[in-house]
Amino acid sequence: MQLFRTKSVEQTIAETGEEGRKLKRNLTWWDLSIMGVAVAVGAGIFSVGAQAAAFHAGPAVIISFLIAGIVCGAAVMCYAEFASMIPVAGSAYTFTYTTVGEIMAWIIGWDLILEMLMAGSVISKYWGVYLNDFMRLMGWNANTNLTFGSFHIDIAPIIIVAFFTTLLVFGTKIGARVDGAMTVLKIAIVFFVVIVGFFYVKASNFTPFIPPSQPASTVEGSSAVTGVMTQPLWQFATGMTPSVYGVPGILSGAALVFFAFIGFDVVATASEETKNPHKNVPLGIGVGMLLIIVMYMLVAVVTTGMVSYADLAKQDSPSLATAFELVGADWAAKIISFGIVLGLATVVMVLLLGLTRIVFAMSRDGLLPRGLSKTGKHGTPAALQIVVGAVVALVAAFFDIGVLSDMVNIGTLSAFTLVAISIPIMRKKRPDLPRAFKMPGSPWIPILIAVANFWLMLNLSVLTWIRFVVWLVVGFAIYFGYGYWHARLGKGDLTETLSAETDKAVNG
């Protein structure tokens, strides 16, 4: 079996011209930047930093954000090189298919499907939760939860998913414009809250900046990290007692807040819909990443400066709103609540886009049923977009699901690891290919990036790794039962497509 067969870059690009399966190029670098900010700045900016400070790193969560930002930023540069060279839908899946081979590409694609499906379902569900909370804070007598006897349903996730699915069916550009307007307003709210928060910052709350390491069981409210299944994998493997704070706390905090930086693998899936992608994709990704690092660092400084990390640890679910409440600024809760509603809405749209484009790319390659990759008159895979929207909405509306941020993290980190490794491989295989952007320091810096991403993966919980392995086993069953035998690369269809596109170019 040729498990590591690879597509050539020429075959990959030729696929984008296949009649009936073409996407329309109409996005700019600004659209991509806003898209990245939209998916990375959701409810997490108001909660993840506070939780990491309370139960992992204390004020040193600022360093955790910096580590996560550097690792993610470096990985993003690898994405930028590939996206400028292979501007095709599929992101890490497509890049891996051209370098490491089909089986690894399947693993990444399958993993990205889980990441975006779960993230989209969870976030759309919690959009309903925060929408109801905002209406309560404003004193409005309204609720999106409906009860019919013993049957309960929240219609909010269905509404938000249906809204953005409709926009995406009629064109990615339309969805990007609406999402962009909401994201700009969301950014303004974040900076407003941060500026006000600085007036409550006390220098004493930053001491000790790196709290001494201690057993997790001794910290009030940290029960979530004391069990065998919930401690970092490397602590479990080395027999180390679950601990918080200190250097281990900074590292586990970095693994947690990495959730704040997800989104740029989603942005890369839109490469095939970007005008002048060789220039605009790297620029859009870079600008968006810079904006996110600045915002998260500022929120971390404000959160840990307003109240002591020890006081945050006493709360059930600490957040930026908790910090304002502890200093008596309850009015901020309304603004933060509105910011979360906006934030989550924009995240839903980008995840719906990303999930659809991953399935689209895998389907166009034949690893999933080819019928899923048909595009309509608006240049979008309309039928697939509707199916994806329906699945996300139903999972969110009918199932009681928790926030599986660690599951999302391990999917993103595994993709980042393989993309980083693929940079020196592609440099050696195809040094002749034009690259509008080049990752500096190859091969050593990409290798270090891969190691750093894998290290963050080892800081995720044992339970997360178990779920990850189970999902991969299911994926292997589908690949060996269907994908391998229907792949267009294995059947020689891609060679025919390349020849047809070449003839078309020659004959005008």
Over residues 226-245, the pLDDT tens digits come to 556 667 776 777 777 767 78
Distance CA 228, CA 235 (A): 9
Highest mean pLDDT among 382-391, 403-412, 433-442, 486-495: 382-391
Spell out the domain ranges in the chain.
9-507
Statement: residue 505 has pLDDT above 60: no
Q: Strand 151-154 relative to strand 214-215: parallel, antiparallel, unpaired?
A: unpaired
Highest mean pLDDT among 133-147, 211-225, 392-406: 133-147
Distance CA 486, CA 495 (A): 15
Distance CA 374, CA 385 (A): 11
455 versus 496: the higher-pLDDT residue is: 455
- Contact present, 461 and 406 (Cβ < 8 Å): yes
CATH number for the 9-507 domain, one of 2.70.98.10, 3.40.50.150, 1.20.1740.10, 3.40.140.10? 1.20.1740.10
Q: Is residue 215 within a helix (H) or strand (E), and if so which, with residue range?
A: strand 214-215
Question: Is 244 in a helix, a strand, or coil?
Answer: strand
Over residues 28-41, the pLDDT tens digits come to 888 888 888 877 77
Statement: residue 343 has pLDDT above 80: no
Statement: residue 403 has pLDDT above 60: no
Tell me the pTM: 0.78
Statement: residue 52 has pLDDT above 70: yes
Taking alpha carbons only, the member of 266, 242, 261 closest to residue 252 is: 242
Distance CA 26, CA 23 (A): 9
Q: Is the peptide bond before 208 cis (omega within 30 degrees of 0)?
A: yes
Average pLDDT score, the chain: 81
The type of residue at 78 is C
Over residues 153-192, the pLDDT tens digits come to 778 889 999 998 998 888 767 777 777 788 888 788 888 8
Statement: residue 477 has pLDDT above 90: yes
